[in-house]
Each structure stands twice: as structure tokens, then as C-alpha cells.
Amino acid sequence: METPDFKKFASRFLNTTSSHVFLTGKAGTGKTTFLKSLAAHTHKNFIVVAPTGIAALNAGGVTIHSQFLIPPATYIPDRYLPENLSAGGRYINSQTLARKHPLNSERKKVLRAIDLLVIDEVSMLRADLLDAIDYRMKAVRGNFNQSFGGIQVLFIGDLFQLPPVIRNDEQELLSRYYTSPWFYEALALKDNQPVYIELDKIYRQQDDAFISILNNLRNSTITSTDVERLNSCYHTAEQIEELQEVITLTTHNYRADQLNRQALDNLKSKAHYFEAVLDGEFPESMYPVQPQLELKEGAQIMFVRNDTNFEKKYFNGKLATVTRIEEDEVWVHMAGTHEPYQLTRERWENKRYSVDNANHVLNEEVIGSFEQFPVKLAWAITVHKSQGLTFDKAIVDVASAFADGQVYVALSRLRSLEGLVLRSKINPEVVRTDSNIKSYTNAAHQPEKLTSVIEQRQRVYISELLTTTFSFAGVLKEINYIQRNKEPERLEDPTMKPVLVQVVDALVNEAGNTEKFRSQLQGLIAKAAHEQLLARIEKGSTYYGKLVLDQLRLLLNHIEAVKHQKRIKTYLSQLQEIDQLLSRKLTELHHAYLIVSQILNGTELFDFRAVKLSLETERMQLLKEINPQPVEKKTKSKSKSGKKKRADDKSTYDVTLEMFKSGMKPEDIAKERGFVLTTIEGHLAKAVEAARLDIDAFMPQEEVAEIMNTIQALPESFVSKELYDKLNGKYGYGKLKAVMAHVKFRQDHKQ
């Protein structure tokens, strides 16, 4: 029987279901490789986070604490903290996060832009921290009915490796909420456990006997024969002293530091120091190697990343010996082959996720970098820091193993038993695996059921996808929040308010039809009437796509009208969040047919490049219409090709001005074009400013005179809000700006 390809199963679950997935596997089975290639295999927007700075750097992501703005404290999954604990200290809850550590707009945009959250190295992820993430996702997405606010989570890691760290005082308190500290105990997963997918093909080791021993170590089923075989690799201190080109794996930091320092000091050669080049933000917790690297000729070093060049001279964990140092040049001999190689500096990047305001694309922004030789002293390293490394040969010293999984992690770094050197014999009593882990994996690991599970989850996904796509609840909820909580000073012009009212009215007026439409879709799903279902999705996407686009046009015009005004930063940020929600809704409507048809047809080739290009072009055209080039540049009637512009190349300002000059009133133009009066008056004010429209043609002379007299009574550096208040809101901002432009024009042209 052919072995299932569990990597393909993982990809299918991520692309065609909304189920959380736990991708696990023994050391060396390709979990990191899967993560690195994820972008090429999923249609979903995702970000990658990890519990520590180094783990985040290795995963190509960011830390959990920085992305979710969670302080280094114990999270209590309760509405109120226990009476003996104080908020804001070592213990926090949802109220602490909401009040004392609110997410900024940029983080909110990122978390609203994703469909998938990837958490790497979950063996170190505590249940309480995962519940804090769950709260953040629910709050930012306004969805408290589904875990993580309705997004999918991919967990990656091996629970049989090093466990999460928990202090004794924390353990007593957290035991009230969690059976154990492991991530899968989180309350967020209580009714929504991830699908367990275990990669089973081992790439690091090829020796079946060694693989069998590692499996027994992992499962705490080690036999006397296994122990005897391992202990045959024991070497005396004298024998170890004679070994060359070998690293020691030990359990404690102080021991590793001691061995490295002593070995370096024993070298009689001159010490050379190489400083890292730091740029921007790169916290010390993320340093991949020492910022000041001390090397001597004869020093044993280890590469800490893979060679990305074609030659592949080294890999993460490859040993070498320094042979020559000349100024900033360092030459080494590779362990085993003794092939000479000159070290070159590598660059590590610290990044953050952001969303482009122009097109709402999720970006990775580099905010800092660290450049240094990709090596560290390597006579010794801790078991903890060896995770992810591969050694051809190593001295393993785990007599003082204190954490579950330490012995397994140490031995699994080696390619074969031939490379194993034991400083002390293995004591079966230090080979421990948490009983909670064994119980969990025994219950969750059901590979034979994955095929039937994915079929059932796909049906659920299609139903959820269509229900969510053809719903405007999220947009309406956000607008309602703005209208309830905005302060008067956020708005310079009360006439701005109708824009949000119009958006709400347009969406609410469709509520009845939308509810009926969703019911029709669910009925077709139940009947398995696939052709009819796809036809309805296609028609519905077109209809509601136009509805959303119309509201987006209205909103973007409003944003353009207010963005240069004073003291409305918060309000403008809220409008941009609505823009993001509407734009995302438009994307969902364009994707729905393609996703459902691919799942139903079993092809599952989600290529959204054409859709993405179409949406980007549509938005660019919309923005160009709303915010054209400056008037003086547009008077040049020729394009790059030398051809005259067509009539439909006119800006939105040109169209308004033409309609006004044809005799239409601003109120009528607003109604005709689907804009609010403020926007039309703003267009005409720009025409006055550009000397394309006389002020008297726009406004009665008495209105102009009244506004001009009021301007004279104000300080020279006044803002339009002060003028508006002085006139008690008698005139809208379009007219005020027109007169202000008229006054400035007269002053500039005084003889």
C-alpha cells in the first residue's frame, strides 16, 4: 500500500477547509521545509509568528508578543483577575489587554487582512498565551462566536521536543484553567481541536536501527537493548580528549559557555574581534550570533544557517576550524573534508507586517538588519539551542537532563549512531516524555481518517465561506462603532456624516434580499445541486460586487475630502479601516466562485493572479478618478504616446466643473453623481483655487463678503475649523475653502 503524502494533506486542509491544523512530525521530517514553501502552495493571506525572537527569525516571521502586543505576563482566561492578583503586573486578562495594551491601527489592519495565522515552534507555546492570541483575534475581527475570530490557524512543531516554560507560582494558578501548559489545552481549542497531521518520512537519518531507537526514546518505550546499543557509544574522558572536529551537546547554558571559553583560552594564537553591523530595529533577543565575535586561528566554529548559494558549502550545524585570519578575512577548513573556505558575512532581517493603504496588500516590511559572519564558537552548545541543527558527529552529555524531551532532542540532531559519542552513559530514568503528550497524540493521531475528515470539513467550509462572503455584518458593525463613539472635534464638517449613513442604508436595504440569497445557497448545498449553486454564486458575486464598489467609491471620495483637515486623525484611521473591510469584501466576492468550483471539481488549483490584477486595476482607476493629477499638469492634453486624451480621461473635478458650468446646481450635481454635497463643493473649491472658476460664479457676493470679513478677524495662522466655528457652521467647508483660496489668490497677485 502506497504511503500517504501528508504534506499534500496539510496543503489541502489549509486551502479547502477552515479547520485548524497541527502539522507535526519527528525531528528531520521537513516541517521547516513545508513552512518555507507555504507561500507557493496556499491562496490564503497569512503571517508567521513564533514564541521567541530566534524562533521567529528562523521561521521568517515575527514574535507573538510584538504582533499581538502582549506583554511578558501570565494570561488569565477569566473576565476578572483573582482578588490576590493586581492587573498590569505579572498577570493579565482580556480587560488588561483592551485597556492598557490596545492594538494600534496598523496591527489591526494586518490581523484583519489575514485568512491564516501560522504559529511555529508550538512546543514552546503555552496554553494561556494562545488564549491571549484568541482574544486579540476575536476583538479585532469583531467575531466572538468562533475561535480566533473565525480565521484558520496552522500550528507547527513537535511536542516531544522541549516543553513550554512555566514557573511554580504560575503552575498553581494556571492549573485552575488548564490540565497542562501545552498549547492544545487552550480554551480556544476546547471545541475546535486542530486536525493532527504527522509527517512521517525522516530525511535526517537513514539508519533504521537508529530511527527505531529515536522513536522509542520519543515515546518513552526505550528497551534495555536500546540502552545497551546507545551506551556502546560511551567514551572515556581520555578518549574524548583525543577527538577532533566534534561538538558537545550539554543541558545547561553555563556548561556550554564554560567549555567554549576554556577551549578558546587554551589556544595560543591571537584573538580577533569582528563587530556586527546593526541597522534599524533589531532587538538583542533576536541576535542569531554574537554581536562581537571573538575568533582565533585554531578555533572550532559552527555555521548557523544554510548556504543559499549553488555550491551549498555549508549547512546549519556544519563544523569548521579557523585556519587563517587577516584583517577582516577569515579562512576555515570544513570538518571532514578539510576543504578551505573563506567566510562571508550574512544578513538577517527583522521585519514587521503591514498593509498598504493604497491597495490593502499585506506586506513584509524590513525594519532592521544584523550582518555578521554566520558562525559561533562550537566546542559546545546547549540541547535547547541545537533544535533545528544537524550534526555528523557530536559528544552528547545528558546525564543532568532536567526537562522532558532533552535526551530525544540531543540524540535526534545526529545523522547516525556512528557519529554519537556519549560522555556519560544513558540513564533510562532521565528519558522522560510528558504523559499528557502521549495521551494527546494517541488520541489525535488518526491518519486513516484524514480522507473522510477532509471531505466533511470541505462541505462545512463551503457553507461558512458563502455565509461570510454574502454578509455585510462586519462592515455595518464597524460603522456603527464609529458613529457611536466619534467625538465632535473629530469632524470638521457635520455634512460628512451622511456618507456613512448612505453606506449603511445601501447595505441594510439589501438585508432582506441577502438573507434570502444565503438561504438559497445553503439549500443548493444541501441538495448537492452543484451546477445551480455555482450559477447562483456567479450572479450573486456580480450583483453584490457592484453594490460594494459603489459604496467604496462613496467612501473613498469622503476620505479624499477630509484627509487634509485638522484634528481628525482618529476618524480618518477609522474610515481607512472601513475601506479595508469593503475592499476585503470585494475580494471575497471575486474569489467565492473560483474557490467553491475548484473544491467541487476536485482540482483545487487556486490561481488568483488574474483576479488580483483585475481588482488592483479597478482600484487604481477608482483612486485616479477621485484623486487626479494636479490641474496644471492635466492641462497638457497629450499622453506619453503623443495622442490627445479621450473625453473619458477627464478627472472627477473636471466632470463636476463641466456640469456646474452647464447650469446645474451643486445639489443637483451631487445627486446625479452619487456624491454628498460636501464633495461637490470641494471640487468647485479646487476649481476656484486653480483660477478655473470665478468665486462669484460659485457663491453669492454677500456670502463671500461675510466669510472674508470673518477671516480678517481671525489670527493669521488660523485653520478652517476655527473659521467654521466662528461662523457657527453656517457654511460648509467647500465654500469656506473656496473663499480662503480666493483671498490667498488676491494676496499673491497684489501689485
Expressed as residue numbers, the domain containing 227 is 208-436
**Partner residues linked to 678 by β-bridges:** none
| Phi, psi (deg, nearest 5) at residue 346 | -115, 160
Question: So what's the pLDDT on residue 303?
Answer: 94
User: What number is the average pLDDT over the span 296-302?
Assistant: 96
Pairing of strands 272-275, 292-295: antiparallel
Please, is 725 exposed, middle or buried when counting C-beta atoms within 10 Å of its C-beta (0-12, 13-18, 19+)? exposed
One DSSP character per residue, 46-74 reads EEEEESSHHHHHHHTSEEHHHHHT--SSE
The arithmetic mean of pLDDT across residues 247-273, rounded, is: 93
Conformational region of residue 27, where left means phi above 0, alpha means psi within -120 to 50, and beta covers everything else: beta
Residue 160 lies in a domain: yes
Three-class SS state of 324: strand
Mean pLDDT of 702-707: 91
- Given a cut of 70, whether residue 181 has pLDDT beyond it is yes
Q: What's the rounded Cα separation, in Å, for the pair 748 and 710?
A: 20
Residue 637 lies in a domain: no
Q: Specify the pLDDT at position 490.
A: 44
* Closest C-alpha to 741, from 704, 702, 714, 709: 704
**pLDDT of the residue at 637:** 37
Q: Which pLDDT score, from 0 to 100, does residue 495 have?
A: 47
Strand order in 247-250's β-sheet? 380-382, 247-250, 394-397, 420-422
> What CATH number is associated with residue 718?
1.10.10
E strands along 200-345, which residues? Answer: 247-250, 272-275, 277-280, 292-295, 300-303, 319-326, 329-334, 340-342
175 and 217 co-located in one domain: no
Q: Give the pLDDT band (50/70/90) at residue 677.
A: confident
Look at residue 629 and tell me whether its pLDDT is greater than 80. Answer: no
Q: Are residues 461 and 367 located together in one domain of the fold?
A: no
> How much is the pLDDT for 155?
98
By CB atoms closer than 10 A (0-12, 13-18, 19+), residue 235 is: middle
The Cβ-side half-sphere exposure at 252, using a 13 Å CA radius, reads: 8
Domain co-membership, 518 together with 380: no
Shared-domain flag, residues 604 and 673: no
Considering 167, 188, 203, which residue would you say is the last residue of a domain?
203
Cα angle: 675, vertex 648, 635; to 5 degrees: 95
Is the pLDDT at 631 greater than 80? The verdict is: no
| pLDDT band at residue 607 under the 50/70/90 scheme | confident
Q: Which residue has the higher pLDDT, 131 or 29?
A: 131
How many other β-carbons are positioned within 10 Å of the β-carbon of residue 137? Answer: 24
In this structure, what C-alpha cell is assigned to residue 722?
Answer: 476655527
Residue 290 lies in a domain: yes
Q: Is 663 a member of any domain?
A: yes
> Which amino acid, one-letter code, is at 665?
K
Please report the pLDDT score of residue 151 as a whole number: 96
Q: Is residue 639 part of a domain?
A: no
Q: CB under 8 Å to 518, separation ≥6 — which residues? A: 466, 467, 470, 471
Q: Does pLDDT of 112 surpass 50? A: yes
- Cα angle 393-394-398, degrees, rounded to a multiple of 5: 150
Digit-coded pLDDT (tens) for 533-542: 999 999 999 9
All cell numbers assigned to 83: 482578588
Which segments of 235-327 are extended strands (E)? 247-250, 272-275, 277-280, 292-295, 300-303, 319-326
Q: Is the dihedral of CA 420, 424, 427, 430 positive or negative?
A: negative
pLDDT at 645 over 60: no
Report the range of poorest mean pLDDT among 177-186, 337-346, 421-430.
Answer: 421-430
- Has residue 444 been placed in a domain? no
pLDDT, mean over the chain: 86
641: confidence class by pLDDT, cuts 50, 70, 90: very low
Q: Confidence class of residue 488 from pLDDT cuts 50, 70 and 90?
A: very low
Q: How many domains does the chain have?
A: 4
User: Quick one: 116 and 216 in the same domain?
Assistant: no
Listed residues 436, 460, 489: the one ending a domain? 436
Q: Give me the pLDDT at residue 339, please.
A: 94
Sign of the alpha-carbon torsion through 545, 546, 548, 552: positive
Contact 60, 46 (CB under 8 A): no
Taking every pair of Cα atoms in the chain, the longest distance, rounded to a whole number of angstroms, is 105
What pLDDT, on the 0 to 100 scale, is given for residue 683? 81
Task: Check whether 746 has a pLDDT greater than 60.
Answer: yes
Q: What is the dihedral of CA 303, 305, 308, 314, to 10 degrees?
A: 30
pLDDT at 634: 37
Structural domain includes residue 634: no
Same domain, 103 and 224: no
Q: Tell me: do 656 and 540 sit in the same domain.
A: no
User: Are residues 216 and 191 part of one domain?
Assistant: no
Q: Phi then psi for 46, rounded to 5 degrees?
A: -145, 160
Range scoring the smallest mean pLDDT among 217-226, 425-434, 609-618, 693-702: 425-434
Rg (CA), the chain: 32
Least confident of 339-348, 400-409, 412-421, 497-506: 400-409
Quick check: 736 and 724 in contact, CB under 8 A?
Answer: yes
Is the residue at 339 inside a domain? yes
pLDDT at residue 657 greater than cutoff 80: yes
- The pLDDT, as a whole number, for residue 481 is 82
Phi then psi dihedrals of residue 339, to 5 deg: -70, 130
Domain end point (choices 149, 169, 203)? 203
Question: Would you give the distance in Å from CA 119 to the centre of its chain?
Answer: 10
* Tens-place pLDDT, residues 412-437: 888 889 899 998 888 777 676 778 88
In this prediction, residue 148 carries a pLDDT of 97
For 132-153, the pLDDT digits (tens) are 999 999 999 989 999 999 999 9
Instruction: Name the residue with cell 518555507.
Output: 36
Together in a domain, 424 and 463:
no
Residue 572 and residue 619 in one domain: yes
Q: How confident is the model at residue 674 (pLDDT cuts 50, 70, 90)?
A: low
* pTM, two decimal places: 0.80
Q: Exposure string (b/e) for 57-75, b if CB count within 10 Å is 16 or more?
A: bbbbbbbbbbbbebeebbb
Q: Mean pLDDT highest for which of 199-208, 524-533, 625-634?
A: 524-533
Does 250 lie in the same domain as 136?
Answer: no
Whether 633 shows a pLDDT value over 70: the answer reads no
CATH number at residue 181: 3.40.50.300
Q: Is the pLDDT of residue 632 over 50?
A: no
Q: Write out pLDDT tens, residues 215-254.
A: 888 877 888 899 899 999 999 989 998 898 999 998 888 9
Rounded-to-integer distance, Cα 85 and Cα 78, Å: 13
* 264 contacts 296 by C-beta, under 8 angstroms: yes
Alpha helices in 470-628 (DSSP H): 473-485, 497-508, 511-527, 530-562, 569-601, 609-626
Angle between helices 666-673 and 677-689 (to 10 degrees): 120
- Above 60 in pLDDT, residue 313? yes
Query: At residue 393, does pLDDT exceed 80?
Result: yes
User: Rounded to whole angstroms, how far apart are CA atoms 62 and 397?
Assistant: 33
The confidence band for 290, taking pLDDT boundaries of 50, 70 and 90, is very high
Contact 324, 331 (CB under 8 A): yes
Q: If you average pLDDT over each of 78-92, 165-179, 267-281, 714-728, which comes out highest?
A: 267-281
272 and 376 share a domain?
yes
Give the pLDDT confidence of 3-37 residue by residue, as tens digits: 678 889 999 999 999 999 999 988 778 898 899 99
